[in-house]
Amino acid sequence: MNDTMPEKIIHISIEKQRLQLLQDGTALLEYPVSTAANGPGEQRGSNCTPRGWHIIRAKVGAGCAPDTVFIKRRPTGEIYSPGLRAQFPDRDWILTRILWLSGLEVGKNRLGNVDTLRRYIYLHGTPDDVRMGVPGSHGCVRMRNANIMELFDNVAAGTKVLIEE
C-alpha cells in the first residue's frame, strides 16, 4: 500500500489568466490571476511572465496579516491601505504571501539570462482593486489576497508549477 499523497501541481494559463491547483488531474482550487502586461517571456529585464516548468523554491509570509507589504521578500512593517498607496504611487505592491518560483528547464527558465529565480518571479497578493483576469503585472503572477493565502496553505515548497500560454 502506498501511503504517499498524490502530487499537487499548480497550472497557470496565461491565455485564460487562470490558476488551478491540481491533484490527480482534478482541480482542487481555481482562481483568476494577472500575469505580465508585457506577455510571456523569459529574458531578464523583459517584465514578462516566464513559461515552462518551475517549482516553488520558497514560501514567504506565513503568519503575516493580510495586506502585509513586502519589499525584497521582507515585511516592511506596513499594512497596505489606499493612503499608503497615495504616499508611494509607483510601488509594485507585493502583499500578504509570496511563493517564489525557480525554473526547472535549463536554458529556458533556469540559469543565465532566463533564470526565473534570479528574476524574482513570484505568485503574490496584490491590492483588492487590481483587476484579475487581465495581464497587468511586471512578470509575476498577481492574485487576490484571500486566494494567495488559501493557495499558500495548500502547497509545499517543491510543488511543481507549469506556466503555459
pLDDT, one tens digit per residue, over 22-32 is: 999 999 999 99
Q: Where are the beta strands (DSSP E) in 14-159?
A: 18-23, 26-32, 52-60, 68-71, 74-79, 94-103, 122-125, 141-143
| CA dist., res. 71 & res. 94, Å (int) | 7
Instruction: Write out pLDDT tens, residues 104-145.
Output: 999 999 999 999 999 999 999 999 999 999 999 999 999 999
CATH 3.30.428.10 describes domain 8-164: no
Boundaries of every domain in the chain: 8-164
